[in-house]
A = this chain, B = another copy of it.
């Protein structure tokens, strides 16, 4: 293997599902996000202080996270290359939303799942801030989930980001399941 201590862009962790983060009326795609805790249910998003969403997150007590299918790749790219400082993205790109119930943010009508998160902790690490949210409400399309509320891999083509404006989805035929003994 090659190696380098000049790190530059370390994009080997991709692909990663894209999370469309919503605060007030605005949305932005975040490729840097992760579950944090099972109980309490916590989810983390990494936001640069340069982003308009960062400003909104300073003022609000929560946010939404929306997951979309691969067919929405072009829409996701548009929401990522524009700023809510300049335009109302939901109006401009005809994004259908309903208000979240417990936080001030949008739930996308076309998402297959979405979380409502209350702000739980905020920490600055390097050039980004980690916003940890407590999931207080789940939204999901029943027809895409298995009995135990997992995503059915045969029914959803999750939108995955691969870095540098590249998007892919999964190959459902590649599914392997390993039963634990």
CA distance A160 to B135 in the complex (A): 24
CA distance A109 to B29 in the complex (A): 34
- Beta-carbon contact of A177 and B151 below 8 Å: no
Chain B residue nearest in CB terms to A2: B142
- Beta-carbon contact of B37 and A67 below 8 Å: no
Q: Give chain A's interface residue range (CB within 8 Å of chain B).
A: 35 or more
Question: How many Å from the CB of A132 to the closest CB on chain B?
Answer: 6
CA distance A10 to B15 in the complex (A): 20
A9 at the interface (CB under 8 A from B): yes
- Beta-carbon contact of A9 and B149 below 8 Å: yes
* Chain B residues with CB under 8 A of A63: none
Q: Which of B102, B148, B163, B176 contacts A9 (CB 8 A)?
A: B148
A86 at the interface (CB under 8 A from B): no
- Beta-carbon contact of B126 and A38 below 8 Å: yes
**A-B residue pairs in contact (CB < 8 Å), sample of 13:** A2-B142, A7-B136, A8-B149, A16-B16, A36-B128, A37-B125, A39-B126, A44-B125, A81-B181, A153-B168, A165-B179, A167-B177, A169-B170
Nearest 8 CB-CB pairs, A to B? Answer: A37-B126, A12-B113, A77-B178, A171-B171, A34-B34, A7-B41, A169-B174, A73-B176
